[in-house]
Amino acid sequence: MGFLEYVSDLCDCSLGGSKKLRKRKQLQTVEIKVKMDCEGCMRRVKKSVEGMKGVTQVEVDPKQSKLTVIGYVDPNKVLARVRQRTGKKAEFWPYVPYDVVPHPYAPEAYDMKAPPGYVRNVLAEPEVAPLTRASSIEVKYTTAFSDENPNACVVM
């Protein structure tokens, strides 16, 4: 919150007798997957959200088919606006960096359509998450033969 906003909240000189409390939206980064084939598609997707109230920054990455919106916005409203204004199929960004997932090459996590270095966000999906988590036995054996383990190959 900036200094001017703080002072304006302190010196609220509204004519009404009751003070009306407003709920402030949080600054959010919304990532959306939208297929963009050409410069025209990219321009249309970018313009669809630029005029929204609360949007501070819009970035388009056509190689990854990714739209990033930063601002004081509701993610569901941004998604609905992109769908409505462009007429394209849009969804929230379903990928995370492969370093975040314990087993990035599990059948449910690995996606051939994902950009390089990304896999599906399986930790957010409750029915798939147990399949991609390592059990304690797996962790024990994978760390036993690790290059980072100074006592590697020692009988346990």
* Nearby residues of 85 by Cβ (< 8 Å), 6 or more positions away: 44, 47, 48, 49
Question: Distances from the Cα of 28 to the Cαs of 31, 75, 79, 89, in angstroms?
Answer: 10, 8, 13, 22
Instruction: Give the residue carrying structure tokens 């606006």.
Output: 81
Query: Measuring CA to CA, which residue among 94, 119, 93 is closest to residue 105?
Result: 119
pLDDT of residue 134: 55
pLDDT of residue 17: 46
The 3-class SS string of 26-69 reads CCEEEEEEECCCCHHHHHHHHHHHHCCCCEEEEEEECCCCEEEE
Q: Where are the domains of the chain?
A: 28-92, 106-146
* Whole-number Å distance between alpha carbons of 108 and 55: 34
Q: What CATH number belongs to 28-92?
A: 3.30.70.100
Do 28 and 71 contact (CB within 8 A), yes or no? yes
* Longest CA pairwise span in the chain (Å): 79
What would the DSSP string read from start to end of 41-52? HHHHHHHHHHTS
Instruction: Encode the chain (156 residues) as per-residue pLDDT tens digits.
Output: 567 777 777 676 555 544 555 667 788 899 999 999 899 999 999 999 998 999 999 999 998 889 999 999 999 999 999 999 999 999 998 887 877 777 666 766 777 777 888 877 766 655 555 545 555 666 666 666 666 666 666 555
Classified as helix, coil or strand, 5 is helix
